[in-house]
Structure 1
Amino acid sequence: MTHSPNAAAEAPPIASSLREIREIGVTLATALILAMAIRILLFQPFTIPSSSMEPGLVTGDYIVVSKYAYGWSRASLPFNPPLPDGRLLGGQPERGDVVVFRRPHDPDQVWIKRVIGLPGDTVQVRMGQVFVNGRMIRQTPLQMVSDHDAPQRRVLEVRETLASSKTYVAYDGGPDQPGDDTPIYRVPAGQYFMMGDNRDNSLDSRWPADLGVGLLPAGNIVGRAEIVAASWKPGAGLFKPWTWLNLQWGRFLKPIR
C-alpha cells in the first residue's frame, strides 16, 4: 500500500495541533481549579451593595475577604451546602473586625458589618452611644460631612476607639434615630453582635433577624474583610461596558480598618 506525499505531509501538523489543543485545555483546567481553590480556601472578592458601612466602605467598593482568618464553615463554601455546623481551624473574630457573613434569616444574602459584641458580652445603645459590658465605646466627634452615597444627607463623622485601641470612623445621623436606644443584649456562646458603621442607616443586630441580623451565629461567618481592591461609582456594572471606567480612584488598595 502506498501513501500519498500529501497525507504524509499533513499528518504531523494535525497531530501537533491536537497536542497544542490538549495542552491548552490542561492549562485552562489547572488554572480554573487553582482559582477555585484560592476562592474557596483563601480569598474571595465581594462587591459592597449598600451604604450601611460608610464611611469606611461605600457602595461600589470591590473588596477582598480572607477566608482562612476564622477557619472554614459551610457558609464559607459556594452555595452554602448542607454540611454540619461548626468551623474548621482558624481563630475567632475580634471586637472591631469587619466581617462578611450569610444573613441568618436568609443565608443566600451575604452581608457585611462590624463585630461589636463577642460571646459572653452585653451590648446596649443609649442615646446613640454604644456600651459593651457596661463601658461606653469612646467617641470623638470630628466634622459634619455629606453622606458619601446620599450627598443631600448631612452626618457627623465620629471616631470610635475600642478598649483594644482599634479605631475607625462611623456616621451619626443625629439624635432620636431608630436604633439609638436599645435594651441590653446578652451575646450567647458561639454568637456575635454586629453593627454597621453608618449607625442610622444599618439593619444589624439591633433589629430582629427577620428585619436585620439578630445575633450572628459563628457558623454563618464567611471571612474577614481585608482591603478595598477597587471601587466603581454607583450604576456601573459588568454588563455595562460604557461604565467600566466610572471608577472611584481614591479608593483603590485601601485597607479596611
Structure 2
Amino acid sequence: MAQRTARKKEGIWETVKTVFWALIIAGIFRTLFFQPFWIPSGSMKDTLLIGDFLFVNKMAYGYSQYSCPLTGSHIPGTDIRINLCPFSGRILASEPTRGDVVVFRHPTANVDFIKRLIGMPGDRVQMRDGILYLNGEAVPQTPAGNFSEIQEPQGPQGSLPCRGVPQGQECVSERLTEALPGGPSHDILNAFDNGDGDNTPEFTVPEGNYFFLGDNRDNSADSRWNPVFDGQGVGMVPAEYIIGRADRIMFSSAGRSLLYFWTWRADRFLKAVD
C-alpha cells in the first residue's frame, strides 16, 4: 500500500515537472520566435479576414522591448507597467521590406495593430482621389473584380462589414491590384468613392519611422491619421514598435470564436500572406 502511494506521488510530481517545463519552453518560443495573432477587424480585407489566426515571425526584423509578451500592459489595480525586456532600440535589427504585412505596437494605445508597410524612412506618401502616390509617382492599380460578403455580424465584436446595407444583403467593394515599387503586388479594396482617407496631405516619413496603410482603404485607421491630433489612426510608427512579419495564416474561423471549428474556412488553411 505504501509503495503504491509513493508511486502515485512520484507520478503526480513528474506530471507537474512536465507541465512546468512545457510552459517554460512555450514561453521562450513565444518570446523569441513566433507570436499568435487573431485578426479582430476588417481593415486588411481581403488579404486578411476577421477570424484569421496566424503566427507573427518575430525573427524577421530583430527584437525590441515590444517583442516581449505583455510589455506595456498594466498590472491589474496599479499604474505599474510590465516590461519583460527592459532595453531600448532593436537587437539583431534588420529593415522591413516595403509591402510586408507587419504587426506593431500602437505608439499611444498600447495594443497590437497589423497593417501593410507602404512608406520607408525618407519617403513622401500621399493619397489623391484614392490613388497612392509614393515620392510623387502614382502607384499603379489594375481592376481585379469585386469583393463581396453578406452584411452580418462578424467575429466576437459583431462588426458589420459595410455601411448603409440592410442585414442579410450583399456588401460589394471594388477590388484593385496595387503594384508597389520594388515590392510585391497585392489586392486593396475600395468600398466607396470620396472616403475620408482618399485625399491627404503629403507625408514625409521621418528617419527611423515607417508609414502603414490597411488594404481595406476606406475602413482602416492607419498612418493617414495622427492619434494625438485626429483621435484615430497610428501616425508614423517608430522602428522599435515593430513586432514582426505576418507570413502565413494557420486557419480561419468565420464564427464568433476560434473554437467553433465548424465555422472554419476550408480555403484558408496554411495560406500565405501576400
**TM-score between the two structures when normalised by the length of structure 2:** 0.84
2:146 matches 1:144: yes
Considering only CA atoms, is the larger Rg found in Structure 1 or Structure 2?
A: 1
SS of the residue 1:34 aligns to: helix
RMSD: 1.6
Whether the 8 Å contact between 1:147 and 1:155 is mirrored in structure 2 is: no
Q: 1:206 to 1:147 in 2, by over 3 A?
A: farther
Whether the 8 Å contact between 1:194 and 1:204 is mirrored in structure 2 is: yes
2:67 matches 1:46: no
| Structure 2 counterpart of 1:92, from 95, 120, 127 | 95
2:18 matches 1:27: yes
**Counterpart for residue 105 of structure 1:** 108
| Structure 2 counterpart of 1:175, from 193, 198, 204 | 193
Runs of 5+ unmatched residues, structure 1: 1-9
- State the distance in 2 between where 1:220 and 1:198 align: 22
Q: 1:102 to 1:165 in 2, by over 3 A?
A: closer
Write the mapping of 1:146-161 to structure 2, written as runs, cut at 5 A: 146-147=148-149, 149-150=161-162, 152-161=170-179
**Counterpart for residue 6 of structure 1:** none
2:246 matches 1:225: yes
Write the mapping of 1:60-209 to structure 2, written as runs, cut at 5 A: 60-80=51-71, 81-82=82-83, 83-107=86-110, 109-147=111-149, 149-150=161-162, 152-209=170-227
**Counterpart for residue 50 of structure 2:** 59
Runs of 5+ unmatched residues, structure 2: 72-81, 151-160, 163-168
CA displacement at 1:174 relative to structure 2: 3.3
| Structure 2 counterpart of 1:11, from 2, 6, 17 | 2
- State the distance in 2 between where 1:118 and 1:147 align: 33
- State the distance in 2 between where 1:49 and 1:88 align: 29
Tell me the amino acid that sits aligned with residue 55 of structure 1.
Answer: D
- State the distance in 2 between where 1:33 and 1:127 align: 51
Q: How many residues align?
A: 243
SS of the residue 2:262 aligns to: coil
CA displacement at 1:90 relative to structure 2: 3.4
SS of the residue 1:235 aligns to: coil
Q: State the identity as a percent.
A: 41
SS of the residue 2:15 aligns to: helix
**TM-score between the two structures when normalised by the length of structure 1:** 0.89
Tell me the amino acid that sits aligned with residue 204 of structure 2.
Answer: R
- State the distance in 1 between where 2:136 and 2:109 align: 32
